[in-house]
C-alpha cells in the first residue's frame, strides 16, 4: 500500500525543523555520497524497517526507526515497513498491530507495508535454483549433529555425509519437505558454502527447516519456513532496498547476505551496520522482556517501567523528545552505552515547552488561613505555561482551607530550610503571602493542621511594600480539590548495568524494589478533573505527569513521567556545554 499524503509531507517537514543534530552520523554521510554519485542510478533511496513480530518494540528500535525513515526522508527517499515473519511459533497479530502503532506514534509513515511471508513462494523458487546450481543440499543430520559438525571459533567444521547428494535427489527431497511428508526436524535445507570458513555463518548455514505450525498470515499453507539469514537479504532485494541498515551484531552475517544475493544474481542491496542503542539502567532483550511480562513482574508490555515504546508512551514520553534524542546520539560503528539521563534531559526539555502547568499536592497537609473569611471562594489567575505565553492563563479557586505538601512545613526547621515554619513568611503560588502561627496535632503527636494568617494586600503573590520571601509553594483549595491516584515510576533496575550480578545470581536480582510507589489520595486542582489520557502536565515543583489510560472521571490516575530534577543539565553546565 503506497502512502504519499499531504499530511505525511507536513510531518516530514516538521521533523526536519526540530532541534539541530549535534553528533556525526556516518550513515547520513554515506547515503548523501551515494546520492551524489548516483550509485543506484536515478533510483531513489529505498530503506526498510524490518522488525520480527515476536514482541513489542522498545526504545532501541526507536533509533533504528529514526535512521531508516529519517535518513530516507532527508533525501526524498522511501521506507517500507516489513515484518520478517519467518517463525510462526513466536509471532502474533498482536505484535504486528502494536508495531504499526509504535511507528506511527513516532511520527513516521511507510511507503509500503510488506511481509517476508509475501515472498515465501519466490524464496522457495530461489532455493530450488540454488539446489539446481549445486549450491544447496538437503541434510538429514540432527540439530545436535549439525552443531557438532560446524566446529568452533578455533576449529574448522567438517562436511555433512549428506553434502554430496545429487541435484536430483536434493530437489526431490526438498519438494517432499514442502509437501509435508517429513516430521519436524527430520531434514533441513543448507547452503553449500565452506565448512572450513573462519566465519561460522558461512559453514553451510541452514536455509529451511520443517515446521508444521500455523502462520499468522499464511495459515497452514507452508510446513517449511525460511531461516532469517536466508529470507532477510532476499526480501531486501525484492523490495530493491538500496541501504539495508542493521546493528553491528549482524556484521558477521554480511558475507552470507552477499553470497545469497550474488549466487542468485538479484538486485544487490547494500547492508550497513551501525551501533545499537544501549542505555544505563535499561535491559533491551526481547526474550527477557517477555519473561518479565509472563512472570508478572510487570503489568504488561505497556507497563510504564518497561523500555517498550508502548510503555514509555503510557508513561508520558513524547515522540518529539525521542526523535531529538536519537538525532543527538547519531550513529557510529562502535557500540557504547548512553547514560539514561541524556534521554531524560531531552524529555524534560520537550515537556518543559509543551506541558500545561497545574498544582497537585501528593501528600497533603491541611493549612487553615485563620484571617480568611469562612465560606468564601475567590479565584486567582495562574499561567498555564510560562515557556509559552500563547498558552494563556486559568482561574484557580482559593479558599480559607488549602492543602500543601507535608514536606513544605517543619515545626522545628533544619538549617537553611526556607519553606513554611512557625513565624516564617512564604508565598502561595499566584495567591498570597502567608505566615505560620500554630499547629494542631492528633493523639499520636502528628501534625494534622497548620494555622496561619495571610496578607490580603499580597494578592497575586507580591507585596506592595516590596518585601521578599525565600520560598514559593504550590497548594490546592481543600473545598475544590479532586482526589487522584498517583503512580510514581522510577527505573526498573537498580544498577546501571542490569546484567551486573554475581555468579549464581540472576538479572532479575537487580530489579528495583522501589520502581513503583502508589500515592492513593493526592489532591489536585479542579482543572485536572477533565484531563485526557496522554496529555502532558507539569505538577509544579513535583514533576511531569500524564493521565493513565485507566484514568476515569470517577477515579483519576496519573503516571509520573519524570521528576523535575535534571542532573544531566548540571553535568553539561559543569562541562561548559
CA distances from 519 to 466, 485, 486, 487 (A): 39, 6, 5, 6
Does residue 52 carry a catalytic annotation? yes
Work out whether strand 516-524 and strand 482-489 pair parallel, antiparallel, or are unpaired.
Answer: antiparallel
470 is catalytic: no
DSSP class per residue in 112-160: -EEEGGGGHHHHHHHHHHHHHTTSEEEE---HHHHHHHH--SSS-----
Q: Which of 15, 52, 203, 523 is catalytic?
A: 52
Backbone phi and psi for residue 281, each to the nearest 5 degrees, phi listed first = 60, 20
Is the backbone of residue 247 left (phi > 0), alpha (psi -120 to 50) or beta? Answer: beta
Nine cell digits for residue 369: 488561613
Tell me whether residue 558 is exposed, middle or buried, using C-beta atoms within 10 angstroms of its C-beta: 0 to 12, 13 to 18, 19 or more.
buried
Q: Which of 187, 286, 315, 429 is catalytic?
A: 286
Whether the CB-CB separation of 91 and 123 falls below 8 Å is answered with no
Catalytic choice (135, 258, 276, 410): 276
Query: Which positions ≥6 away from 543 have C-beta within 8 Å?
Result: 560, 561, 562, 563, 564
Partner residues linked to 405 by β-bridges: 364
Q: How far apart are the C-alpha atoms of 410 and 420, rounded to whole Å?
A: 7
Nearest to 126 by CA among 81, 191, 50: 191
Cβ(65)–Cβ(49) below 8 Å? yes
Find cell 519436524 and name the residue: 184
Return the residue matching grid coordinates 549439525: 146
Instruction: Return all residues near 130 (Cβ < 8 A) that are at least 6 apart.
Output: 136, 191, 207, 263, 264
- Look up residue 392 and give its DSSP letter: -
- Helix, strand, coil: what percent of the chain each, to 5? 35, 25, 45
Residues annotated as catalytic (active site), given as ranges: 52, 276, 286
Amino acid at each position: 500500500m503506497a502512502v504519499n499524503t499531504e499530511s505525511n509531507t507536513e510531518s516530514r517537514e516538521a521533523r526536519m525543523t526540530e532541534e539541530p543534530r549535534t553528533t556525526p552520523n556516518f550513515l547520513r554521510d554515506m547515503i548523501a555520497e551515494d546520492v551524489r554519485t548516483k550509485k543506484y542510478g536515478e533510483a531513489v533511496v529505498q530503506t526498510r524497517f524490518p522488525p520480527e513480530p515476536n514482541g513489542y518494540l522498545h526504545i532501541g528500535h526507536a533509533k533504528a526507526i529514526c535512521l531508516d525513515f529519517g535518513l530516507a526522508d532527508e533525501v526524498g527517499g522511501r521506507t517500507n515497513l516489513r515484518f520478517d515473519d519467518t517463525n510462526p511459533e513466536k509471532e502474533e497479530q498482536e505484535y504486528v498491530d502494536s508495531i504499526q502503532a509504535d511507528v506511527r506514534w513516532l511520527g513516521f509513515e511507510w511507503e509500503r507495508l510488506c511481509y517476508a511471508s509475501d515472498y515465501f513462494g519466490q524464496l522457495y523458487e530461489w532455493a530450488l535454483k540454488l539446489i539446481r546450481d549445486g549450491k544447496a543440499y538437503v541434510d538429514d543430520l540432527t540439530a545436535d549433529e549439525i552443531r557438532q559438525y560446524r566446529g568452533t571459533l578455533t576449529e574448522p567444521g567438517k562436511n555433512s555425509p549428506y553434502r554430496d547428494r545429487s541435484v536430483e535427489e536434493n530437489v526431490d527431497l526438498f519438494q517432499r519437505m514442502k509437501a509435508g511428508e517429513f516430521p519436524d526436524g527430520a531434514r533441513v535445507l543448507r547452503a553449500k558454502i565452506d565448512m572450513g570458513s573462519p566465519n561460522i555463518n558461512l559453514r553451510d548455514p541452514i536455509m529451511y527447516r520443517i515446521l508444521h505450525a500455523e502462520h499468522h498470515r499464511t495459515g497452514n499453507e507452508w510446513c517449511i519456513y525460511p531461516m532469517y539469514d536466508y529470507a532477510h537479504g532476499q526480501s531486501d532485494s525484492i523490495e530493491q532496498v538500496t541501504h539495508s541498515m542493521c546493528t553491528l551484531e549482524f556484521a558477521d552475517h554480511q558475507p552470507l547476505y552477499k553470497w545469497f544475493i550474488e549466487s542468485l544474481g538479484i538486485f544487490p542491496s547494500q547492508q550497513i551496520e551501525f551501533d545499537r542503542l544501549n542505555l544505563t539502567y535499561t535491559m533491551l532483550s526481547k526474550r527477557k522482556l517477555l519473561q518479565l511480562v509472563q512472570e508478572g513482574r510487570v503489568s504488561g508490555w505497556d507497563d510504564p517501567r518497561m523500555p517498550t515504546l508502548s510503555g514509555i508512551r503510557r508513561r508520558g514520553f513524547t515522540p518529539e523528545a525521542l526523535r531529538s534524542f536519537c538525532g543527538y546520539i547519531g550513529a557510529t560503528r562502535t557500540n557504547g552505552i548512553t547514560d539514561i539521563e541524556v534521554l531524560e534531559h531531552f524529555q524534560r526539555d520537550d515537556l518543559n515547552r509543551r506541558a500545561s502547568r497545574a498544582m497537585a499536592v501528593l501528600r497533603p497537609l491541611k493549612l487553615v488561613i485563620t484571617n480568611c473569611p469562612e465560606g468564601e471562594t475567590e479565584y486567582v489567575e495562574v499561567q498555564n505555561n510560562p515557556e509559552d505565553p500563547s498558552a494563556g492563563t486559568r482561574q484557580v479557586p482559593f479558599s480559607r482551607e488549602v492543602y500543601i505538601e507535608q514536606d513544605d512545613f517543619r515545626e522545628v526547621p533544619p538549617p537553611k530550610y526556607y519553606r513554611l515554619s512557625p513565624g516564617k513568611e512564604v508565598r502561595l503560588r499566584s495567591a498570597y503571602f502567608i505566615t505560620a502561627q500554630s499547629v494542631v496535632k492528633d493523639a499520636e503527636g502528628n501534625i494534622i493542621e497548620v494555622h496561619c494568617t495571610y496578607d490580603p494586600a499580597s494578592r497575586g503573590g507580591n507585596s506592595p511594600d516590596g518585601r521578599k520571601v525565600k520560598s514559593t509553594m504550590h497548594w490546592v483549595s481543600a473545598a475544590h480539590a479532586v482526589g487522584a491516584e498517583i503512580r510514581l515510576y522510577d527505573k526498573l533496575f537498580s544498577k546501571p548495568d542490569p546484567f551486573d550480578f554475581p555468579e549464581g545470581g540472576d538479572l532479575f536480582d537487580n530489579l528495583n524494589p522501589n520502581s513503583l510507589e502508589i500515592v492513593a489520595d493526592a489532591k489536585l486542582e479542579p482543572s485536572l478533573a477533565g484531563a485526557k489520557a496522554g496529555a502532558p502536565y507539569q505538577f509544579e515543583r513535583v514533576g511531569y505527569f500524564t493521565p493513565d489510560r485507566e484514568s476515569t472521571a470517577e477515579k483519576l490516575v496519573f503516571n509520573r513521567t519524570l521528576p523535575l530534577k535534571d542532573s544531566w543539565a548540571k553535568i553539561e553546565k559543569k562541562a561548559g556545554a
